[in-house]
Amino acid sequence: MPLIRNFPFFCIMLSMMCGIGSAMLPGRIARKVTVALAAVVAALNAALMCHLMAAGENYHYLMGHFPAPWGNELRAGPLEALLCTLFSLVLLFSALGGQGKVKVQVDPNKESIVYVMLNLVLAGTQSMLYTNDLFTGYVFIEIMTLGSCALIMNRQNGRTMVSAMRYMIMSLLGSGMTLMSIMLIYTLTGHLLIENIRQSVEVLYMSGQYHVPLTVTIGLFFVGLGIKSALFPFHTWLADAYGYSTPTASAVLSSIVSKAYILLLFKIFTRMIGMDVVVGLHLNDLFFAFGVIAMIMGSLSATHSHDLRRMVAYSSVAQIGYIYAGMGMGITAGLIAALYHILIHSAAKSALFISSSALADASAGSKRFSDLRGAGRRSPVAGVCFSIAAMSLVGVPVLGGFISKLVFSQAAFSAGGVHMWVMLLALAVSTLLNVLYLFRTVITLYRPAREGFTCTVEKPDGAAVCAMVGFVVLNVLLGVLAQPILNVLTTGFHLFM
């Protein structure tokens, strides 16, 4: 086997070992290890993606000496490698951009714990993307749940402790429902390996047996992972968890953790159950309805927010709705649009959280819009970073959000019927609301400061500036290179299936 085919295993094990090792290191060293790890993992996954695109194939990687289903195995293709590359870059920039706040907001004796959890989140994300075994995916769901709670409560004030408790309760509820669905699918099929489950499910569906248990199982997967990914109306924990934790935690939770759960659900529906079965049972209409409602309600909640970070948090609900609505169309074009939007949202949302922190520092630490007037002038790099990310989510041409909405529109026309009209209407309404709250914020950042408002400007450190510049470049490239990226997603999706 060529060395490059070991890269998924190397990336997961490196992340796990760095997570364990960081617990024994001082915070400063642990931070450097985490940043270096994210860079190495991004490079390895990018090289693997190029190799697999050139070969036009995916492959299975045996873990240990026993073949599946007794042993465990990974499955790697261009789609998984592309997603892991982007998530590694987002974690790299998030760790750099928020390291100054980690020093201030986290107990110095516990600073290394932040980087332990970041490493475990990176390991869990890659494992959930690469694994070909359903129960292994569940194991890393729990690892990511614990890591996410620790990231929220590391700031250790009253609000973050309450937020972490609410997140833990909701997340454990989602985990329990996911475990129940795994138990049911194992009872129905006798398998945990994804390909074997797919074959058994197709036989059950074609024979007409166990349609009700199969429907309940798919519904439990949807609700369990929907809770964990903050799909409306299961999003009540989101605003506090994202709004009160450190900028690094907010960026990683919104851009990586929630997407990992969605992508596991994506794998379950497309590769394990099969979209033909999901559409045949009309469960895709359930996903579509929840996604469309989230697109509108999340945007409305963001419009009524008076706090910058809570506004950014609520906008995540709307953007997650786009992804579920694309999956709910039940056609290949909708699924590829959802995957592309995952990339766009991950890059833009993390940029918004990191730049929001710098903008608040330029406004005496306030996150209220009345105090943020002129913050874009007082902190130019943060203002540009926030503006580019906001314009991407709104859908300004050239940037990735515009391409994403264009691809969703094309998918809607391909779907036809009620799905087309509902999706086009939801896109129009959600885009207008995005303009209302995101452009209003950008305009506020460049308005003159209110009369009598004075503050000392805390300038971002060099690492934060580099991270925000990196986010700007990443968001622009996702739009400029949209066609090559869509080609990788399309090729990777067909190999993924």
328, 285 contact by CB (below 8 A)? yes
- List beta partners, residue 73: 62
Beta strand 72-76 with 59-63 is antiparallel
φ, ψ for residue 344, nearest 5 deg: -65, -50
Closest CA to 395 of 479, 325, 464: 479
Cα-atom radius of gyration of the chain, to the nearest Å? 22
Where are the chain's structural domains?
Answer: 282-497
In whole angstroms, what is the distance from residue 350 CA to residue 343 CA? 11
475: which 2 tokens? 């968001």
Alpha helices in 372-416 (DSSP H): 375-378, 380-394, 400-415
Find how far residue 52's CA is from the centre of its chain. 23
CA distances from 270 to 55, 102, 375 (A): 23, 39, 45
φ, ψ for residue 232, nearest 5 deg: -60, 135
Residue 70: partners with Cβ closer than 8 Å, 6 or more residues away: none
Find how far residue 83's CA is from the centre of its chain. 10
Residue 297: partners with Cβ closer than 8 Å, 6 or more residues away: 232, 233, 317, 318, 321
Q: State pLDDT tens for residues 372-429.
A: 777 778 888 888 899 899 898 888 888 888 898 899 999 888 888 888 898 899 888 8
**Cα three-residue angle 490-495-497, rounded to 5 degrees:** 100
Longest dimension (CA), the chain: 75
Q: Encode the chain (497 residues) as per-residue pLDDT tens digits.
A: 688 888 888 899 998 888 888 888 887 888 888 889 999 999 999 999 999 988 888 888 887 676 666 667 888 889 999 999 999 999 999 988 888 877 777 777 888 888 888 999 999 999 989 988 888 888 888 888 888 888 888 776 767 777 778 888 888 888 888 999 999 888 888 888 888 888 888 888 888 778 888 888 888 888 888 888 888 888 777 777 777 778 888 888 888 988 999 999 999 888 888 888 888 878 888 888 888 998 888 888 888 877 787 888 888 888 898 999 888 888 888 899 999 999 999 999 999 888 888 888 777 667 776 777 777 788 888 888 998 998 988 888 888 888 988 999 998 888 888 888 988 998 888 888 888 888 888 888 887 776 666 666 667 778 888 888 999 999 999 989 989 999 998 988 888 76
3-state helix, strand, coil in the chain (%, to 5): 80, 5, 20
Q: Quick one: which H or E segment has residue 72?
A: strand 72-76
Q: State pLDDT tens for residues 426-456.
A: 888 888 888 888 888 888 888 777 666 666 6
Residue 306: partners with Cβ closer than 8 Å, 6 or more residues away: 368, 369
76, 67 contact by CB (below 8 A)? no
